[in-house]
């Protein structure tokens, strides 16, 4: 969503990730049918859609991401079939259960509609954007994701996911947040960004080679 990867770069990246035996996860720029369909057509194993604030928006996401009878995803983009290594008929049969769809919870509106969003048939999980959620809960006053209000809201998301049989996900970024969110009941977490990993690796190298 916030990265600089464009539509021209993503298909080759997904193919490389899949060739390595790993699932490709794409957070699209917005909850828009064309973007969701494009991500799935190139072979994404999971798609995360930002700023889903109502049951109606969650239903629109499922409609774009799932084939009938759950949704109305358009057929096409044969890269997905090649990536899956199956026939077209096999992909159609299994796609709804083999591709995961996450709605992002990151606003006061989403929290108010949390039970209704989680009850939407066809969703596989909810994914919290803690930074945007913190900004929303503090009315733009903080980015401190460890705040009590943010942690409490995330705990509620995890509880609702458990009750509905959904996967609870979140952007963690650091080992401390990974541990904290796991304690809340989250099972799927994004780790550091590539730039964070590069910075930390460079810092560790410089520290290790600095003169005593």
Q: Show which residues are catalytic.
A: 2
| Burial tier of 184 (Cβ tally within 10 Å: 0-12, 13-18, 19+) | middle
Residue 168 neighbours by CB distance under 10 Å: 28
Are 73 and 65 in contact by the 8 Å Cβ rule? The answer is: yes
CA distance 125 to 162: 10
Token pair recorded at residue 123? 């969703």
CA distance 18 to 76: 19
Which residue reads 């929290």 in tokens? 111
Pairing type for strands 167-171 and 125-128 reads parallel
CA distance 121 to 116: 10
CA distance 77 to 144: 41
Which residue reads 């460079």 in tokens? 202
CA distance 120 to 49: 15
């Amino acid at each position: 969503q916030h990265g600089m990867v464009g539509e021209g770069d993503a298909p080759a990246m997904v193919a490389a990730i899949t060739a390595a035996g790993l699932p490709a996860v794409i957070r699209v720029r917005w909850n828009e049918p064309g973007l969701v369909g494009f991500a799935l057509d190139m072979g994404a194993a999971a798609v995360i859609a930002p700023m889903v604030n109502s049951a109606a928006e969650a239903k629109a996401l499922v409609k774009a991401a799932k084939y009938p009878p759950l949704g109305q995803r358009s057929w096409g983009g044969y890269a997905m079939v090649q990536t899956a290594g199956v026939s077209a008929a096999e992909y159609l049969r299994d796609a709804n259960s083999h591709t995961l769809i996450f709605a992002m919870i990151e606003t006061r509106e989403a929290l108010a509609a949390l039970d209704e969003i989680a009850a939407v048939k066809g969703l596989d999980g909810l994914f919290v954007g803690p930074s945007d959620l913190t900004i929303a809960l503090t009315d733009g006053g903080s980015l401190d994701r460890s705040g009590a209000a943010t942690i409490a809201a995330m705990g509620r998301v995890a509880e609702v996911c458990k009750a509905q049989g959904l996967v609870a996900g979140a952007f963690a970024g650091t080992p401390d947040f990974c541990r904290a969110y796991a304690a809340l009941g989250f099972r799927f977490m994004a780790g550091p960004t590539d730039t964070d990993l590069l910075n930390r690796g460079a810092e560790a190298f410089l520290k290790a080679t600095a003169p005593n």
